Amino acid sequence: RIEDIIAREILDSRGSPTVEVEVFLVDGTRARAAVPSGASTGSKEAVELRDGDAHRYGGKGVEKVIRNIEEIIAPDLQDLDVREQKAIDDTLIGLDGTENKSRLGANALLGVSMACARAAADYSDLPLYAYLGGPGATRLPVPCFNVLNGGVHAHWQGADFQECMLVPYGAGNFREALRWGAEIYHALQSVLLGKHLSVGIGDEGGFAPMVSSNHESYDLLLDAIRKAGFEPGRDAGIAIDPASSEFFKDGTYQLRTEKRAISSAEMVAYYEEIVRNYPVVLLEDGLAENDWESWKLLNERLGGVIELVGDDIFCTNPKIIARAMEDNIANATLIKLNQIGTVTETITATRLAQYHGWGAFVSHRSGETTDDFIADLTVALDTGHLKSGAPARGERVAKYNQLLRIEEELGTAASFAGKHAFCRPIR
């Protein structure tokens, strides 16, 4: 049973404040969780509450959220059985009372929800992935390494496209996939140095060079894959998250690097060309969140061949995902805990996707902490793939390192998603 819940303001990987929650059980168990924060957010995300006091952290303080947790949430959850995750999350949702979690803040709800899940796992003497996923939770995901950062994560005149990910699906297990990822990441550094391009890194640990087109990133990555001794297509492929809502303005996609603005249909043709020429396995947010109708065309053209993931457009929201299924506009959803605000709703969104043959792609945020909850979540929900940035920067590798531990602990029971990680077969 829950005895007490406390919260504190800590820093995330961008040096901005975020929420950390600690749950204490009457038997002495204590568990902790920290909440991440995005930069290219969807407009329908659950609300991340900030103090707005310009004298502290430029208005980004979370003292109000801390008070909401300690003064409103903690008294109400006292004495509840911490294993009753759904009852806890329903209580949190009820206490907040708004559709978008704006009263107490999704960052308040999620911190408590995650810390309770972890406390329940500890209390049950189970690792988190086994507690949440049961005895069948034995498959390790293919890590999608965001090795080239652009857009709002680069803070620089880099690529328009936010993320160019390396996907080592040909590896035999997770440990090997991580090694391939790191080796190719380092090869990419020397490819960039050889071309006198910047090796400064972005928010998610990837390099953020000034490129003159978006597909130049893919050429650089293919060079790096070969340089590290691997074969593009056979051993590793590419996943793309342009985060296109960020450059969709006045009804057109504004490609700064290429000095042109193109229509939705032209954008779809642009992707078709990329998919024809490169070993792309996944495209996330290819079109903007308020370009819903054009997503149908994108799905018609590419949905049969690659995984088309909705991030900003679905916001891990089961209601929006269900509508997207009816309209047949994609074949996968991104899964971000803080977009929806509780562990239970995150599981519901993932199950909804999986029951309908959709992919579910677990994701970190660009503002992260060293909390490794999503590593366990990915294995628990058997999503087959996750993205947690480059194989560099402590808050990014914290998740990958936890997956190494899980694979080790599972021993011979462990399997690796490999080429079956996606909702469409590798071409």
List binding-site positions for substrate: 153, 163, 284, 311, 363-366, 387
Q: If binding is defined by CB under 6 A, does position 363 make contact with ligand PGA?
A: yes
How many CB atoms lie under 10 A from the CB of residue 162?
Answer: 30
List, edge to edge, every strand of the sheet that includes 252-255.
Answer: 248-249, 252-255, 260-262
Residues in the chain: 427
Cα–Cα dist 364/283, whole Å: 17
With CB cut-offs between 5 and 8 Å by kind, which of ligand PGA, Zn ion, none does residue 294 bind? none
Q: Which of residues 138-157 bind ligand PGA (CB under 6 A)?
A: none
User: What single-letter DSSP state applies at residue 411?
Assistant: G
Structural tokens at position 311 = 């991030």
**Of 82 and 392, which CB lies nearer to ligand PGA in the complex structure?**
392
Residue pair 257/160 in contact (Cβ under 8 Å)? The answer is yes
Rounded to a whole number of angstroms, the minimum distance from the CB of residue 366 to ligand PGA is 3
Chain residue whose CB lies nearest ligand PGA: 38
Chain residue whose CB lies nearest Zn ion: 311
Rounded to a whole number of angstroms, the minimum distance from the CB of residue 321 to ligand PGA is 16
With CB cut-offs between 5 and 8 Å by kind, which of Zn ion, ligand PGA, none does residue 39 bind? ligand PGA
Burial 381-418 (b: 16+ CB within 10 A, else e): bbbbbbbbbbbbbebbbbbbebbbebbeebeeebebbb
With CB cut-offs between 5 and 8 Å by kind, which of Zn ion, ligand PGA, none does residue 366 bind? ligand PGA
Cα–Cα dist 98/7, whole Å: 22
Cα–Cα dist 87/78, whole Å: 13
Q: If binding is defined by CB under 6 A, does position 316 make contact with ligand PGA?
A: no
Q: If binding is defined by CB under 6 A, does position 366 make contact with ligand PGA?
A: yes
Q: Where are the alpha helices (DSSP H) in 9-104?
A: 63-67, 74-77, 85-96
How many CB atoms lie under 10 A from the CB of residue 87?
Answer: 13
Rounded to a whole number of angstroms, the minimum distance from the CB of residue 285 to Zn ion is 5
**Of 204 and 382, which CB lies nearer to ligand PGA in the complex structure?**
204
399 catalytic residue (yes or no): no
Q: If binding is defined by CB under 6 A, does position 399 make contact with ligand PGA?
A: no
Active-site choice (45, 48, 204, 407): 204
**Of 285 and 291, which CB lies nearer to Zn ion in the complex structure?**
285
Strands 280-284 and 332-335: unpaired
Which residue numbers belong to the known binding site for (2R)-2-phosphoglycerate? Answer: 162, 336, 365-366, 387
Active-site choice (44, 60, 101, 336): 336
User: Binding residues for Zn ion, per CB under 5 A?
Assistant: 241, 285, 311
**Of 5 and 397, which CB lies nearer to ligand PGA in the complex structure?**
397
Contact code string over 31-50 relative to ligand PGA, x by CB under 6 A: -------xxxx---------
First to last CA, the chain: 50
**Of 106 and 283, which CB lies nearer to Zn ion in the complex structure?**
283
Q: If binding is defined by CB under 6 A, does position 365 make contact with ligand PGA?
A: yes
Which residue numbers belong to the known binding site for Mg(2+)? Answer: 241, 284, 311
Rounded to a whole number of angstroms, the minimum distance from the CB of residue 81 to ligand PGA is 33
Cα–Cα dist 121/79, whole Å: 17
Q: If binding is defined by CB under 6 A, does position 311 make contact with ligand PGA?
A: yes
Total binding residues toward ligand PGA, as defined by CB under 6 A: 11
Q: Which of residues 243-262 bind ligand PGA (CB under 6 A)?
A: 243
Q: If binding is defined by CB under 6 A, does position 241 make contact with ligand PGA?
A: yes
176 catalytic residue (yes or no): no
Cα–Cα dist 364/311, whole Å: 12
With CB cut-offs between 5 and 8 Å by kind, which of Zn ion, ligand PGA, none does residue 41 bind? ligand PGA
Which residue numbers belong to the known binding site? Answer: 153, 162-163, 241, 284, 311, 336, 363-366, 387
Residue pair 317/339 in contact (Cβ under 8 Å)? The answer is yes
- With a CB cutoff of 8 Å and minimum separation 6, the contacts of 238 are 164, 165, 166, 167, 218, 221, 278, 279, 280, 281
Cα–Cα dist 58/43, whole Å: 22
User: What single-letter DSSP state applies at residue 83?
Assistant: T
The catalytic site residues sit at: 204, 336
Site of interaction with ligand PGA (CB under 6 A): 38-41, 162, 241, 243, 311, 363, 365-366
